[in-house]
Amino acid sequence: MGLMIVSWTAMAGMVVTALAMVLTPGPNMIYLVSRSIGQGRTAGLISLAGTGVGFVAYLTLANLGLAVVFVAVPWLFMGFKAAGALYLGYLAFQALRPGGRGLFETTDLPRDSNAKLFRMGLVTNLLNPKAAIMYLALIPQFIDPARGHTAAQGFLLGGVQITVSMLVNAAIVVAAGAVAALIARRPEWAVWQRRITGTLLGAVALLLAREVPQRARI
């Protein structure tokens, strides 16, 4: 036990924190659920794989200290947040615009390729730089310098967060996929699904837009 890089207490704390993060609805969850409902659970899981790669990229940047650039260059951080807000706003517009094709329509929905699903899952995560800031602000709280190998501790704790996030999101995606068959039998539900999804996307876009002026802090 003495050879463990991190303590059991730190591991448990990271698990609880990761659960709190993943169960709080955000851009990633909304996109994954919408893809799963619109194109099926396989599409949702492929998108989730792209999201996972985004987490790994941010974890690597955070542990290498490169994400500190968001703190040193405030306008860059604000630019990333603005891009994320605009992207979600565009998705909301596509879902809500009168007479337009529903972005998440379960009938006659153009099938995105696996590559595009993966890419969009990755982009959705990368356009949410709060992930990088969370790693910078969160993981150091569970690192014990006395144990040494601080970078290894950071990667291990980050791996715990990613594992918890992927498992919970996968369960949500699989459950959401079952809704597609139900909506297919009741076309009128698709209209409400589109309105609800568009409204949720718009709400998240507004929340992110409010945070754009805020500077990054470690």
Q: Where are the domains of the chain?
A: 28-100+109-211
Q: Where are the beta strands (DSSP E) in the chain?
A: none
Q: How far, rounded to the nearest angstrom, does the alpha carbon of residue 122 sit from its chain's CA centroid?
A: 9
Between 161 and 96, the more confident residue is: 161
Query: What is the tens place of the pLDDT at every residue in 147-190?
Result: 878 888 889 999 999 999 999 999 988 888 676 666 667 767 66
The size of the chain, in residues, is: 218
Mean pLDDT of all residues in 88-103: 64
CB contact at 8 A, 152 and 4: no
As separate numbers, helices (DSSP H) first and strands (DSSP E) second, the chain gives 9, 0
Rounded distance, CA 190 to CA 146, Å? 56
The one-character DSSP state at 5 is S
CB contact at 8 A, 155 and 59: yes
Q: Could you tell me which of 217, 216, 171, 170 has the C-alpha nearest to residue 77?
A: 216
Rounded distance, CA 37 to CA 43, Å? 9
Q: Give how far Cα 99 sits from Cα of 10, 93, 149, 195, 206, Å.
A: 52, 12, 57, 13, 24
Which residue type, as a one-letter code, is found at position 127?
L
**What confidence score (pLDDT) does residue 103 get?**
38
Rounded distance, CA 201 to CA 195, Å? 10
Looking at mean pLDDT, say which of 12-26, 131-145, 197-211 comes out highest.
Answer: 12-26
pTM passes above 0.75: no
CB contact at 8 A, 44 and 177: yes
Rounded distance, CA 113 to CA 158, Å? 30
Rounded distance, CA 72 to CA 57, Å? 20
**What confidence score (pLDDT) does residue 39 get?**
81
Q: What 3-state class would DSSP assign to 20?
A: helix
